[in-house]
Amino acid sequence: MKKNCFFYRKKKYSIEPNGVITKKSHSNIALIKYWGKHKNKIQIPLNSSISYSLGRVYTVTRLIYQEKKKRNLSIKIFLSGKEKTSFLPKILEFFHRISFYCSYLRDFNFIIETYNTFPHSSGIASSASSMSALALCIMEIEKKLVFSLKKDFFLKKASFLARLGSGSACRSIYPGLVVWGSHKSIKGSNDLYAIPYPYKVHPIFKKMVNTILIIDEKPKKILSSKGHLLMNKHPYARVRFQCANQNMDRLISILKIGDFQEFGELIEHEALTLHAMIMTSRPYFLWMKPNTLNVLHTVWDFRIQSKKNIYFTLDAGANVHLLYPIQEKKSILKWIYSDLFFYCKKIIESFCY
């Protein structure tokens, strides 16, 4: 699908002057990480990534639109009932970027009311679920203008728009395993929007538990948007992008065969590589906290001694995502509460859906 097909071109249309749309979108956790984007292009990744969408961890967004009387655009944004002027620059940039593709947006003012089921800016991708929920709301306006709009196009364009707000958000449009970024072995994969993973997945990877250990609830000191830029001058960047693309090839066969151990080793390696990139960028940074390390070592020790299939992945922050098969949920969750709870501020019981 060509980028141009996402333009909404009509100059005249009829739509009610005021309206309210509510949409929900889930967060996601990347198995192969998106880290680095093209310098002179808007939100184009330097390697392909794949994620699981997460159950119980989501954003609900209510978009109120009101016909504009004056020329200037007014947007107000509320998080859990409190006005958040600090979010405005990012949201305004988002609206500015997408108004090329959704010209009708220029005729309205907006109030965005949103809430998350998880802490904002804690390393759980709140920008992913919030930008994708907002993109879904906007597509709902477009649907009111184009009666023949097909579901497939609705989701593709929602993913395309969400990407312009936050890269990883384009993967949150779909449930399950979702791929973003062109990869030679994945048919239909491209840099403009995400697609549902199109190949065979072994049943062991279809029902997976994701337990999120919140180690640090404070907002991150370095935001991922800034971190991506550091990859442009990173001495190991080229090798990292090659490695991510090779990992994607390996993952395709792992997902088909159902080898959980290989899967776990791959995702742990990806997570540590992401953190290694930020630790070795200039300026360098460390997202992990002492309790992140305590958790990782405790998981490794437990795995050796119990032979259980439990592996971790990390996001851009201190928190840890544990992944394990649903069949082992009861015993592993019990162990998590008895041996890991001590290191955490909070535990979120999620699942890959």
In the complex with ligand DP6, the residue whose CB is nearer, 129 or 291, is 129
Strand ranges (DSSP E) for the chain?
A: 18-32, 49-67, 75-79, 82-83, 108-116, 177-180, 195-196, 208-214, 311-314, 320-325, 346-352
Q: How far is the CB of 228 from ligand DP6 (least distance, A)?
A: 5
Residues 188-217 that bind ligand DP6 (CB under 6 A): none
* Binding window for ligand DP6 (CB under 6 A); candidates: 16-24, 78-86, 197-205, 220-228: 220-228
Residue closer to ligand DP6 (CB basis): 35 or 101: 35
Q: Are the C-beta atoms of residues 133 and 143 closer than 8 Å to each other?
A: no
Helix (H) or strand (E) holding 263: helix 260-279
What span, in angstroms and rounded, lies between the C-alpha atoms of 14 and 141?
11
**Smallest distance, ligand DP6 to C-beta of residue 206, A:** 21
User: Residue 117 and residue 31: Cα distance in Å, rounded?
Assistant: 22
The β-bridge partners of 22 are: 62
Can you tell me which of 46, 98, 125, 134 binds ligand DP6, judged by CB under 6 A? 125
Instruction: Give backbone dihedrals phi and psi of 109, rounded to 5 degrees, phi first.
Output: -100, 155
Query: Exposure of 145 by Cβ count < 10 A (0-12 exposed, 13-18 middle, 19+ buried)?
Result: middle
Residue 60: count of CB within 10 angstroms of its CB:
16
Is 228 a binding residue for ligand DP6 by CB under 6 A? The answer is yes
Count the residues of the shown chain that bind ligand DP6, applying the rule CB under 6 A: 17
Is residue 224 within the footprint of ligand DP6 (CB under 6 A)? Answer: yes
Q: Does 220 bind ligand DP6 (CB under 6 A)?
A: no
191 or 315, CB closer to ligand DP6? 315
Q: Is residue 315 near ligand DP6 by the rule CB under 6 A? A: yes
Asked if residue 225 binds ligand DP6 (CB under 6 A), the reply is yes
CA–CA separation, 251 and 245 (whole Å): 10
Mask for 40-59, x = binds ligand DP6 (CB under 6 A): ---x-----x----------
Verify binding: residue 309, ligand DP6, rule CB under 6 A: no
CB 280 within 8 A of CB 303: no
Q: Which residues bind ligand DP6 (CB under 6 A)?
A: 30, 33-35, 43, 49, 125, 127, 166-168, 224-225, 228, 274, 315-316
